[in-house]
Structure 1
Amino acid sequence: MSTADQRPEILRYTAFSTDPAGGNPAGVVLDATGLTDAEQLAIAAELGYSETAFLTAPPAELPDQERAYTVRYFSPLAEVSFCGHATIAAAIAHAERHGPGNLQFVTPAGAVPVKVTCAADGTLQATLTSVEPAVHKVAEDDVDEALRALGWFRADLDPEFPPRIGYAGARHLILAVRTRARLADLAYDFARLKDFMTDLDLTTIQLVWRESATVFHVRDPFPVGGVVEDPATGAAAAAFGAYARELGLVPEESVLLLHQGADMGRPGELRVELYAGDPRIRVTGTGARIPDPGTTRAAARHHGRTV
């Protein structure tokens, strides 16, 4: 697909908020049939959002499964293995056209079931079930380099939350701080953090402050995607849920509430569910169509992309 008259419909949705001005904007292409890798990357770069989801027919092993799709995710700079907020956005966009129900998204990270439900007031809500997560220790030298890039200090970290790399489809370094003020004060070295994250194959840095036993505030720098900060990060939320459970910071069966984006003026809410006997993490959020994104530069600047 390369000519203008073959250009697919490109949708714009926000995830983890019912307000188009909140949550995390994502591009959605519900039928990306025939698009090359270069064309998908070009669309993602044109939109300027942290990720765009591209849906095509399911792989050969699922030829007859209804509502199954192959899904790929592109940031403005590169393809990523999994993106939670674009998954939520794509599922809600699909439900607005085909009705709520169960979907099967086959992503580069693995199969991700998604369930879309409709509340009595008509609000659509999507729940993704992650691939099996993992939590890994991180070298102290790497923690120190991350802190230097962030302009933070060891004394800023919450000793009850040791640094780890969490995975639930993508890798995220999890760093928790003692105070909300420290989390709010984020002005980092973009190039240095990008190089560090590239070396460790990280998608974002999940920065966390604990408000209460089950309520957290988070921020996610995303320089490897060409974005200063992600306003609501479903993949990192899933990785954090696995981390918190494995380290015994929350009960094995829990419902966690993550607030993200408020420091950027795009507040969103992510619900993370942990179930005993099932290692996978469930992440739930609402979504909304973005009717008029304005220019690419304005849309990108609004959510923190460097342009």
Structure 2
Amino acid sequence: MPAVLRYAAFADPDRPGGGNPAGVVLDADGLTDADMQRIAADVGFSETAFLRADGGIRYFSPLAEVPFCGHATIATAVAVAARDGAGSLTFATPVGPVELETSRGADGVLRASFTSVEPRIEEFAPAVLSRLLHLLRIREEDLDPDLPPRIAYAGNRHPVLVLHDAGVFDGFTFDPAAVRALMDAEGWAGTVTVMLRAADTVWEARNLFPVGVITEDPATGSAAASFGGYLRELAAVDAPARIGIRQGRHVGRPSLLVVDIPAAGGITVSGTARLL
């Protein structure tokens, strides 16, 4: 079996101990689906990425394959840059080609960015939204009236809820099994994304991802890209725009994602990744 690297992606440089762990296999040629699923289950992180020599990449959670994973993409790009040097890359993901840039700063830290596929936004079915709010014990009046619930896509479909009260944002709880059942029924392969505006261009995120022993994701690149598309679609930013997303505080792994929102096209998400 090939070597498995372990990285923490999107670690906040100002807050130690953060980032979202991802497994990375840089020589996945010859691995079967069963091999990749078994390795991902053994690693136990929310996702492990498997890169082939031709640039094809696939992502597996401990339970199943997922179409796209932003933090594992960043981790893989940094791993390639550490091996081959920084520069431009293209990964052939299951949802389409994803362009990446890697660079090494004056501090010696490798950073990576990916540009998502074209985002799109859809409305909730009323019964599905009602069910989700019930499972999270969130009331309709807790939602930001200017930023309505939507399902946002930039590689994965993410239901997006924007709250206006920090107490509700910090305090809501959920039954992981019940949320997982709804996600599976609706085909939400990514996370349930709950957002709160922290400052003019800074947001806080909680991304619910019940899989195995994991219930909440420390940093979610695909959700960040989807949220960027959501803000642009709702004209909630004056594109081109840049926002920061802080995530992971609720699970003790503070993370920072930088999101660039152009006037059109894919959303760019940037961050660091450190070898564990």
TM-score (norm 2): 0.96
SS at match of 1:223: strand
Check 1:106–1:100 CA distance in 2 against 1; reply closer, same or farther (3 A cut): same
- Of 47, 52, 56, which residue of structure 2 is paired with 1:56? 52
SS in structure 1 at match of 2:56: strand
What are the Cα deviations for residues 189-244 of structure 1, in whole angstroms up to 9, with x where unaligned? 11211111112111211100011221100011112576301100000000000000
2:2 to 3, 8, 11: 8
1:273 corresponds in structure 2 to 260
Aligned length: 273
> Could you say what secondary structure the match of 1:96 adopts?
helix
CA distance in 2, matches of 1:140, 1:30: 43
Query: Please, what TM-score do these two structures have when normalized by structure 1?
Result: 0.86
CA contact (8 A) 1:166 1:174 kept: yes
Match of residue 256 from structure 1: 243
Letter of the structure 1 residue corresponding to residue 87 of structure 2 = G
Structure 1 alignment gaps of length 5 or more: 1-6, 59-68, 291-307
In structure 1, the residue matched to 2:107 is: 121
Match among 19, 31, 35 for residue 23 of structure 1: 19
Matched with 1:182 is 168
What letter is aligned with 1:247? L
* Whole-angstrom CA distance in 2 between matches of 1:225 and 1:138: 27
1:235 aligns with 2:222: yes
Query: Equivalent of 2:82, from 75, 96, 118?
Result: 96
Instruction: From the superposition, tell whether residues 48 and 174 of structure 1 become closer, same or farther in structure 2 (CA, over 3 Å).
Output: same
RMSD across aligned positions (CA): 1.3
Q: Secondary structure at the match of 1:249?
A: coil
Instruction: Compute the displacement of 1:90 (Å).
Output: 0.5
* CA offsets 1:120-170 (integer angstroms, 9 cap, x no match): 111111010101111111122111100111122212211111000000011
Question: 2:62–2:211: 8 Å Cα contact kept in structure 1?
Answer: no
Structure 1 residue ranges (4+ consecutive) displaced by more than 4 angstroms after TM superposition? none
Distance (Å, rounded) in 1 between the aligned partners of 2:16 and 2:56: 26
State the AA in 2 paired with 1:162: P
Q: Distance in 2 between matches of 1:111 and 1:123?
A: 26
Q: 1:226 to 1:243 in 2, by over 3 A?
A: farther
Residues 130 and 281, structure 1, Cα contact 8 Å, conserved in 2: yes
The separation in 2 between residues aligned to 1:226 and 1:199, in whole angstroms, is 20
